[in-house]
Chain A
Amino acid sequence: DQQVKQNSPSLSVQEGRISILNCDYTNSMFDYFLWYKKYPAEGPTFLISISSIKDKNEDGRFTVFLNKSAKHLSLHIVPSQPGDSAVYFCAASEKREKLTFGTGTRLTIIP
């Protein structure tokens, strides 16, 4: 039972444009959401998070949007840079306990 789903395994975006990565969840008890970025041969690194009491959180070029009624969150990267090419995982938790991860989306930024 995949409680966190990333339906796009891959995404290609031109450098300088906006990258939008999507994530859906089914467990209505999830109240804290995170995005992690993973380069090959490295562990995932934390990117940005959002609590369910907010619908948007911004950090530089990265913005996460949360739509609780649709159980959907998205990560926007503007502008996209070649160094953003990586696998992006969304994750969710209830009361910041164990994280449930999606299967990841491989983002490729085309120069």
Chain B
Amino acid sequence: KAGVTQTPRYLIKTRGQQVTLSCSPISGHRSVSWYQQTPGQGLQFLFEYFSETQRNKGNFPGRFSGRQFSNSRSEMNVSTLELGDSALYLCASSYIPHTGELFFGEGSRLTVL
């Protein structure tokens, strides 16, 4: 069974640009969560989607947004990029929410110059 797939794996942007990251969950999984990993901060929760609805949101500014499609695939968008947005963005999926255990993709490494 294929795992969680994230694209692109690496990307470089400049300040002020916007970026869209994509996540395809494990087949049959309907819940998708996004996390930001930076050195010294661990993994910080961005948002969670289930059945195309945002269930939870972390403490990130409105520049960070996401959505989920009917096939459970998810995208996150960051507008007006700042240097501090440079991070590894991880997507995780589970069959349903409330399981606790998540299956993570390999992440999208974003560098903002």
Contacts and interface: CB of A to CB of B under 8 A. Distances in A.
Given A44-B90, A97-B97, A97-B98, A89 B58 contact: no
B25 interface: no
Contacts of B105: 43
B73 to A, nearest CB: 17
A43 B104 contact: yes
B102 interface: yes
Interface in A85-108: 89, 91, 93, 95-104
Contact of B102 (A6, A99, A102): A99
Contacts of B99: 96
Interface in B61-92: 90, 92
Interface string A33-45: 0101000011111
Interface of A: 4, 6, 32, 34, 36, 41-46, 49, 89, 91, 93, 95-104
9 contacts: A4-B42, A46-B102, A49-B101, A89-B43, A98-B33, A98-B56, A99-B100, A101-B43, A102-B42
Given A89-B42, A95-B98, 7 more contacts: A43-B105, A49-B100, A49-B101, A93-B100, A99-B43, A103-B42, A104-B42
